[in-house]
Amino acid sequence: MEAAWVLMSIDIFSRMVLRLLLGNDPGSMKAKLFEIPITVLDRTTLTSTICYVSFETANPWGTIILNGCHLRRKESPSPSMSTVSCPEYPELQEKLHRLAMARDSLSLQVTILTEQVGAQKEKIRDLENLLAAKANNLDSTEELLQE
């Protein structure tokens, strides 16, 4: 496949990297790239504010070569953790680190909220059972009063 350079804003690139870090399948990642409006450009026309990804360099193992920097998923204590080796873009490394920390924080919050929702469901179930028992008690009381 001929190299195609994708022109995208830093924001779109950040979302793409976040999807990659969150563990999307690399095959579907390429499909996501096609959803982004693309412009085929010569490499020399790209400026420092534009990030580009070569479709040839995105392999099935999740490695993307970006302006000569390698972004790759690898095995780590957390299966969704990724590493970036790019001395030219320390702000990208910092942003990825902040995103990883935010993701871990959100994951913890989701776990806590899931447990709270489970507890609330149990309380609601208990209250519904109590309400049904009171409704039956009320019905039997009304029947006794009518007799």
Which residues are CB-neighbours of 146 under 8 A, at least 6 positions away?
A: none
Q: What pLDDT band is residue 48 in, cutting at 50, 70 and 90?
A: very low
Nearest partner of 22 among 55, 59, 62, judged by Cα = 62
CA atoms within 13 A on the CB side of 31: 5
What pLDDT is stored for residue 61 in this prediction? 45
Distances (CA, A) of 60 to 22, 34, 49, 56, 116: 16, 16, 27, 11, 39
Is residue 70 helix, strand or coil? strand
Contact (CB, 8 A) for 55 and 66: no
Q: What pLDDT band is residue 75 in, cutting at 50, 70 and 90?
A: very low
Percentage above 90 pLDDT, the chain: 35
| Residue in this structure with the two tokens 């999307």, named with its chain if needed | 24
